[in-house]
């Protein structure tokens, strides 16, 4: 009994010593530490401020050859709700065409001289609308908006009855102000965790291989799983720090709501941290040096991020990639934290996502640890 | 000149020797281009929609039918009784429509009729698209049932220039070329530079008679060659898989791409001279290069949407100018008269990064 206790103590002390060594190694490299803390903040701010899919303030040019009351009314109907704004007007038709060609103007309207006459005759009066479609998605939305505004103005001309007999009352739930940062920040958190976590964990493992100190570690009485745990635990603590830091930045900079349960958030995040560390370990086992580890980490991380819905919605991906994304742990993680932060739903709603994530974490962790131990032996 | 040549040859030898790195250096950019090109779609389809119809009148059924028939939506039935919020909370649907019991009656009696729509606005862009889709469908419904005049007073003739079929790959792929050709050349160059710091071989360089300019020149030239091969390979792939080719005069692009790659490699080398470990260099390249080229280049969303102080920062991001050049050359059909300034900007950017890298290294002495 006493012997067992002694043994346990010894193991504990050894593990503790190894962990101290790892922590010191991480803390000693000031540049590395700075780079662990600084990029997440910068990235979240940048993504939040720079990524905005809004279709608004499109530069519209109008060549009004009719120049009547009604044609001017049509122009003002188009710029009524901030989707379009009119730049330097009036332009000649040739200038307008050139502007669209060079990309200074997003859309151009030509109102022909007979516009007024056609309307007094009971229509239809045709106008020309040219849209720069280099950006296919924006062009589609622009087209939709413009047609809607033109037809609603046309209806106004046609009848005196102003109210539509059926009104749809649209309510935006979860994000009534339509703040795009609320969509991106949870996605970027997942992205940052993936990039930083897998990179740092693979590099700390490969470094020992690279410099040959791994053999020295193996010669010590420490068991291979002790070496592994000692490497994982400090990383776990640090990545938890990253998660909290990201949350604070989101709150301070973007007023990101936190509607769900904090412990559930930390729980899910920790499952994902294990996934990320396992990816790092796998990377470390297949690469011989740091450069290879770094390049292979890009090889894994790029598809992981692209197919996660962090930046562009999963619903709009082609079917094949949508199917593929079901295998992606990051997809589940981002979905969960968006649910917790924005929707405020709990375990009862997300249990499926969380269990899939947990299964992926366990499988990845076990297989990566097995691979690592095999390589040590 | 001889020394630059020798240094360049040494770098290329070192690069070719590591087979896995060599393979990754060419597979990775293509993989990323494929992912960006095939995987990134902004236009949304298949939005799960539930309709809760409390009215069994023919008008409400017609409205529900029309919503279900809209190609944007994937219809799901949501039997009455359960609150509709559950459908959104559980992620079962992205939009929910409630048609009240008096809907058809109100219309028939000439009263104002309402129906309620809940839109999951977690994804902001989609939320707007869903709203527009529902309003459009309502319009169609009103016209078909003669509730509003179906006579069109104004007929817009819409022309979509440059990309009439609205193929998204035509937008995404030229942009992605800019992002990919920034990340990988700068990453490889940074790793090559920082490795000398890490392994201490930089001291041997200091001790030799080579000057900073020759040393940097050789390194940058080597990686410029590698990046050039990469670029040609990528453009070939873009041509094969996405049917993207030069529209108009390709010479501005050829100059532009050379200067852009020079900027990327110099940027990587600059980072390499400043950092002291490979993982630190990668972090720095990822933050300074990857993030900026992805976000501030206008590759995904228009630059004018970027908020005020950051929008001026984009001027300093070479990828922004290159993405513009790429789109002009592959989609718009630019030519020198339109794009004469872009290669110049890119060359200036490259010289700027080279200058800083040179400054970091100019003494060729160990820093104390």
**A94 in contact with chain B, both atoms CB, cutoff 8 A:** no
Cross-chain residue pair A52–B142, CB shorter than 8 Å: no
- The number of C-beta contacts closer than 8 angstroms across A and B is 347
Mutation target among B161, B244, B268 for the A interface, most CBs of A within 10 A: B161
Among chain A residues, CA nearest to B104: A166
Same domain, B53 and B27: no
Q: What percent of chain B has pLDDT over 90?
A: 19
Domain residue spans of chain A = 15-51+177-376, 58-158
Minimum-distance CB partner of B160 among A131, A150, A306: A131
* pLDDT above 80: residue A123: no
Same domain, B184 and B208: yes
Mean pLDDT confidence for A189-201: 86
Q: Which two tokens stand for residue A314?
A: 């999963």
* pLDDT above 80: residue A165: no
Same domain, B200 and B339: yes
Cross-chain residue pair B42–A137, CB shorter than 8 Å: yes
Distance CA B276, CA A162 (A): 70
Cross-chain residue pair B113–A165, CB shorter than 8 Å: yes
Dihedral angle over CA of A218, A219, A223, A226, nearest 10: -60
Mean pLDDT score of chain A: 83
Cross-chain residue pair A46–B291, CB shorter than 8 Å: yes
Same domain, B139 and B249: no
Minimum-distance CB partner of B125 among A53, A124, A166: A53
Q: Which domain holds residue B71?
A: 47-144
Residue A9 C-alpha from the chain's centroid: 45
Q: Contacts of residue B49 in chain A, CB cutoff 8 Å?
A: none
Tell me if B151 is assigned to some domain: no
Q: What is the DSSP string of B243-256?
A: -----S--HHHHHH
* pLDDT above 70: residue A161: no
pLDDT of residue B121: 86
Cross-chain residue pair B287–A43, CB shorter than 8 Å: yes
How far is B232 from chain A, CA to nearest CA, in Å? 21
**A323 in contact with chain B, both atoms CB, cutoff 8 A:** no
Location of structure tokens 């993982």? B279
Same domain, B235 and B325: yes
Distance CA A371, CA B210 (A): 45
Query: What CATH class has A58-158?
Result: alpha beta
Minimum-distance CB partner of A168 among B138, B171, B305: B138
pLDDT of residue A7: 61
Determine how many CB atoms are found less than 10 A away from the CB of residue A241. 13
| Across A2-6, A47-51, A97-101, A106-110, least confident range | A2-6
**A311 in contact with chain B, both atoms CB, cutoff 8 A:** yes
Q: List, for chain B, all residue ranges whose pLDDT scores fall below the cut of 70.
A: 80-81, 149-151, 367-368
Same domain, B192 and B127: no
In A144-248 the beta strands, taken as DSSP E runs, fall at 166-173
Residue B146 sits at the vertex; the CA angle it makes with B144 and B147, to the nearest 5 degrees, is 110
Among chain B residues, CA nearest to A182: B122
Same domain, B226 and B338: yes
Interface of A with B in 242-301 (CB under 8 A): 287-292, 294-296, 298-299
Please report the ipTM that was assigned to this predicted complex.
Answer: 0.79
pLDDT of residue A300: 84
End-to-end Cα separation, chain B, in angstroms: 31
Asked if omega into A124 is within 30° of 0 (cis), the reply is yes
Q: Contacts of residue A298 in chain B, CB cutoff 8 Å?
A: 24, 28, 187
Same domain, B240 and B350: yes
pLDDT of residue A195: 84
Mutation target among A107, A166, A341 for the B interface, most CBs of B within 10 A: A166
Interface of A with B in 103-122 (CB under 8 A): 103, 119, 122
Whole-model pTM: value is 0.82
Band (pLDDT 50/70/90 cuts) for residue A64 is: confident
pLDDT of residue A4: 63
Same domain, B208 and B333: yes
* pLDDT above 60: residue A372: yes
Band (pLDDT 50/70/90 cuts) for residue A359 is: very high
Same domain, B178 and B325: yes
pLDDT digits (tens, 9 = 90+) for A214-273: 777 777 777 777 788 888 888 888 889 888 988 898 899 888 899 889 999 999 999 999
Tell me if B366 is assigned to some domain: no
pLDDT of residue A364: 92
Same domain, B139 and B219: no
**A195 in contact with chain B, both atoms CB, cutoff 8 A:** yes
Q: What percent of chain A has pLDDT over 90?
A: 11
pLDDT of residue A2: 60
Tell me if B159 is assigned to some domain: no
| Beta bridge pairs of residue A170 | B117
DSSP H or E stretch at residue A129: strand A125-132
| Across A106-110, A161-165, A354-358, B105-109, least confident range | A161-165
Same domain, B36 and B67: no
* pLDDT above 70: residue A162: no
């Amino acid at each position: 009994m006493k012997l067992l206790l002694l043994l346990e103590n010894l193991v504990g002390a050894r593990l503790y010593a190894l962990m101290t060594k790892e922590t010191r190694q991480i803390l000693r490299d000031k540049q590395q530490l700075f780079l662990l803390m600084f990029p997440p903040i910068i990235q979240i701010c940048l993504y939040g401020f720079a990524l905005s899919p809004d279709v608004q303030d499109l530069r519209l040019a109008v060549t009004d050859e009719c120049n009547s009351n009604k044609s001017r009314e049509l122009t003002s109907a188009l710029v009524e709700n901030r989707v379009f704004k009119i730049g330097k007007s009036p332009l000649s038709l040739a200038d307008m065409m050139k502007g669209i060609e060079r990309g200074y103007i997003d859309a151009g309207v030509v109102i022909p001289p007979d516009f007024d006459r056609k309307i007094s005759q009971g229509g239809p009066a045709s106008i020309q609308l040219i849209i720069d479609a280099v950006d296919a998605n924006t062009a589609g939305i622009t087209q939709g908006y413009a047609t809607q505004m033109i037809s609603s103005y046309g209806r106004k001309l046609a009848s005196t009855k102003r109210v539509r007999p059926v009104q749809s009352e649209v309510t935006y739930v979860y994000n009534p102000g339509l703040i795009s940062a609320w969509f991106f920040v949870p996605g970027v958190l997942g992205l940052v965790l993936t990039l930083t976590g897998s990179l740092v964990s693979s590099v700390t493992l490969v470094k020992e291989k690279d410099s040959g100190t791994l053999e020295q570690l193996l010669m010590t009485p420490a068991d291979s799983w002790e070496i592994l745990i000692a490497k994982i635990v400090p990383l776990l603590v640090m990545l938890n720090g990253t998660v909290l830091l990201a949350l604070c930045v989101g709150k301070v900079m973007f007023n990101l709501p936190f509607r769900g349960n904090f412990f559930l958030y930390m729980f899910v995040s920790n499952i994902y941290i294990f996934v990320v560390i396992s990816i790092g370990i796998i990377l470390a086992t297949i690469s011989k040096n740091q450069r290879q580890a770094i390049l292979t980490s890009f090889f894994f991380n790029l598809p992981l991020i692209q197919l996660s819905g962090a930046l562009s919605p999963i619903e709009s991906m082609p079917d094949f990639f949508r199917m593929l994304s079901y295998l992606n742990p990051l997809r589940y993680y981002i979905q969960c934290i968006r649910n917790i932060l924005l929707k405020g739903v709990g375990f009862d709603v997300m249990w499926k996502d969380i269990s899939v994530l947990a299964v992926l974490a366990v499988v990845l962790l076990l297989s990566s640890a097995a691979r690592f131990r095999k390589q040590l032996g | 000149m001889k020394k630059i040549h020798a240094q360049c040859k040494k770098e290329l030898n070192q690069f070719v020797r590591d087979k896995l790195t060599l393979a990754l250096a060419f597979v990775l950019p293509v993989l990323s281009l494929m992912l960006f090109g095939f995987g990134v779609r902004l236009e949304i389809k298949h939005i799960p929609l539930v309709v809760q119809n409390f009215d069994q009148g023919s008008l409400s059924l017609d409205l529900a039918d029309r919503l279900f028939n809209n190609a944007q939506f994937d219809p799901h039935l949501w039997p009455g009784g359960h609150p509709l919020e559950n459908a959104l909370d559980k992620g079962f649907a992205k939009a929910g429509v409630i048609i009240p019991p008096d809907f058809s009656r109100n219309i028939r009696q000439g009263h104002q009729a309402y129906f309620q729509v809940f839109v999951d606005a977690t994804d902001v862009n989609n939320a707007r698209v869903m709203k527009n889709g529902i309003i459009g469908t309502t319009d169609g419904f009103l016209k078909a049932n003669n509730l509003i005049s179906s006579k069109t007073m104004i007929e817009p003739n819409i022309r979509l220039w440059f990309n009439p079929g609205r193929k998204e790959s035509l937008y995404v792929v030229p942009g992605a070329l800019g992002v990919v050709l920034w990340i990988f050349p700068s990453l490889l160059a940074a790793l090559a530079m920082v490795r000398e710091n890490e392994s201490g071989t930089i001291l041997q360089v200091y001790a030799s008679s080579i000057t900073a300019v020759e040393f940097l020149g050789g390194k940058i030239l080597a990686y410029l060659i590698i990046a050039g091969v990469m670029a040609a390979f990528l453009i070939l792939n873009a041509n094969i898989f996405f049917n993207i080719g030069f529209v108009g005069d390709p010479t501005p692009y050829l100059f532009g791409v050379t200067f852009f790659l020079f900027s990327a490699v110099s940027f990587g080398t600059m980072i390499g001279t400043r950092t002291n470990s490979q993982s630190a260099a990668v972090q720095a390249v990822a933050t300074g290069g990857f993030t900026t080229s992805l976000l501030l280049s206008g590759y995904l969303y228009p630059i004018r949407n970027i908020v005020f102080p950051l929008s001026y920062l984009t001027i300093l991001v070479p990828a922004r100018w290159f993405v513009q050049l790429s789109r002009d050359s592959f989609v718009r059909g630019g030519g020198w008269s339109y794009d004469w300034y872009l290669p110049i900007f890119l060359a200036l950017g490259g010289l700027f990064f080279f200058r800083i890298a040179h400054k970091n290294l100019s003494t060729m002495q160990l820093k104390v």
